[in-house]
Amino acid sequence: MSDITQIIQSINDGNPGASEELLPLVYEELRRLAVQKMAHERPGQTLQATALVHEAYLRLVRSEDQRWDNRRHFFAAAAEAMRRILIERARQKQRIRHGGGLERVELNEGDLVAEPFPEDLLSVNEALIKLEAMDPLRSSLVKLHCFAGLSLKETAAVLEISERTADRHWAWARAWLFREITRARGEG
């Protein structure tokens, strides 16, 4: 059992100091993931990678109903927390900049993965919610790859699937998300 898994078990058992032991072990990896994700954000972003890591970590350890089974589960939860933070910021920017109205933005397949604008991010989020209900594994793969910035190889390791399976799931999920977003916008 890894150190991270042991500390997670200690947190689950109610040890109040265990979360302080966890942060030094996961911080660099979480920060690396956040830096990768923030590199895809628009210039002039006020949220920094360090702030994203801290916000995600605080949400994870302060949540009373959160329990993690192992390292993989923890990083999946961290990826989800980062995704939610970015979605919240995109919604906030949309309300501020656009008065709550949506502006039509053309989306091609490359934009789905590359650098989503706030409007695109909201469309992707809606599609991901549907995908999660339909196929939680593929949804986790998309979240880890797109929102946590993991490579497909790293994502396969976290999800404990083969790289080939990760590649197949990614190709399917990307095509499904593209079709779903296009359909939701009335373009397909």
Question: What are the structure tokens assigned to 90, written together?
Answer: 């995109």
What are the tens digits of pLDDT across the range 117-154? 556 678 888 889 999 999 999 999 998 888 888 889 99
Q: How far apart are CA 145 and CA 141, in angstroms?
A: 6
Handedness of CA 122, 113, 39, 58 (dihedral sign): positive
What are the tens digits of pLDDT across the range 151-177? 899 999 989 999 999 999 999 998 898
Question: What are the structure tokens assigned to 91, written together?
Answer: 């919604």
Q: How far apart are CA 41 and CA 52, in angstroms?
A: 12
68: left (phi over 0), alpha (psi -120 to 50) or beta: beta
User: Is 0.95 surpassed by the pTM of this model?
Assistant: no
Instruction: Give residue limits of the domains in the chain.
Output: 3-184
